[in-house]
Amino acid sequence: MAVYEFPSRLKSLNRLSFVLLFFLVSSSVVLAQDQQPETQPTPPVQGEDNGKVLKIDTDLVTLTLTVTDYYGRYVSGLTKDAFTVYDNKKKQNITFFSDSDAPVSIGILFDVSGSMSGEKILKARNALARFMNTSHPRDEYYLIAFNKRAQLLMDRTRDGEAVLNKLTLVQPKHNTALYDACYLGVERVSRGTHRKKALLIISDGQDNSSRYSFKEVRRLMKESDVVIYSVGIIDGRDSGSMLGIQGQAFLDELANVTGGKSFYPNTTVEMDEIFERIALELRNQYTIGYTPDDFKPNGKWRKVKVKVKPPRGLPRLTVRNREGYYATPNTDFK
């Protein structure tokens, strides 16, 4: 097959043309790059520094409310308009409202001191099983056992059975560091996944081994947004003693400050019913939020009062919530 070949002169011209064409294309690319505007570095987001977390201060106050009727039964189905909030005696505009059955981050503070020996600890563990069977399936638990010191036995778990099994391995002994357990409980629960947070204290209320004082614990509870439920495991010997009276006063005070409740069952049946009642209460609460008009982050105590207006036809209702808060800015991490 014949192959056509360019004459030698034509070959030389073609080579020259190719070199010229390559030079022109290369020059145009370089020229185009030179003519592009210089890229400016993206300005950093205000508050951002080398990958650090952006912090935004907010003055939103949130309250967890429990509404009951004359017989202590939970009242659901209320709307935002049924509630009125007063912050330092000034009426506030509610900007957030929820009545959903939301999961809770729960710290379980279980007394395993010597005063809980005998049938006390067994009855309390069985009642706790009732509590977990009634709780929201997505609740998360922090188990803290305490005698002469507070110890975190389980950290953030949804396995209620594992929590109960853990308690079968402990033997009641030594003194009682209840105040220290409260501190540890708030510290762990505050890291919880869920917005709603609570502590369930199972104890006779007697403290004789803590580093923290009653005053310090009370201050901590007033600073936190954790609802306290106390179940006093007090028998006939404890109820009339000075230690029993002091223990009950401590449990009552913590519950009242945070909008929770304290209970003192006399029988095993009553104890089971109380644990179930606490679980149901946590699932039948309202959450409201507002931003105080005159908020100043001066660290002062601001008293909160919530009123509830019953729907037509219903008798007077009772609402429980924390008593107030210290005016320090909250910090949300985005």
pLDDT bin (cut points 50, 70, 90) of residue 246 is confident
Given a contact cutoff of 8 angstroms between Cβ atoms, the answer to whether 200 and 244 are in contact is no
Looking at every residue in the chain, the average pLDDT score rounds to 82
Tell me what pLDDT residue 240 has. Answer: 57
Q: What tokens does 172 get?
A: 């009641």
Residue 52 has pLDDT above 70, yes or no: no
Q: What secondary structure does DSSP assign to 170-217, as a single string?
A: ----S---HHHHHHHHHHHHTT-SSSEEEEEEEE----SS-SS-HHHH
pLDDT per residue as tens digits for the range 84-110: 999 999 999 999 999 999 999 999 999
Given a contact cutoff of 8 angstroms between Cβ atoms, the answer to whether 283 and 136 are in contact is yes
Where does the chain have alpha helices with state H? 8-35, 119-134, 160-167, 178-189, 214-223, 236-239, 242-258, 268-282
Q: What tokens does 28 get?
A: 């145009």
Topology, domain 104-282:
Rossmann fold (3.40.50)
Tell me what pLDDT residue 244 has. Answer: 67
Domain layout of the chain by residue ranges: 55-99+287-333, 104-282
Residue 252 has pLDDT above 90, yes or no: yes
Tell me what pLDDT residue 193 has. Answer: 95
User: Nearest 5°: phi and psi at 302?
Assistant: -120, 120
Calculate mean pLDDT across residues 216-230.
Answer: 94
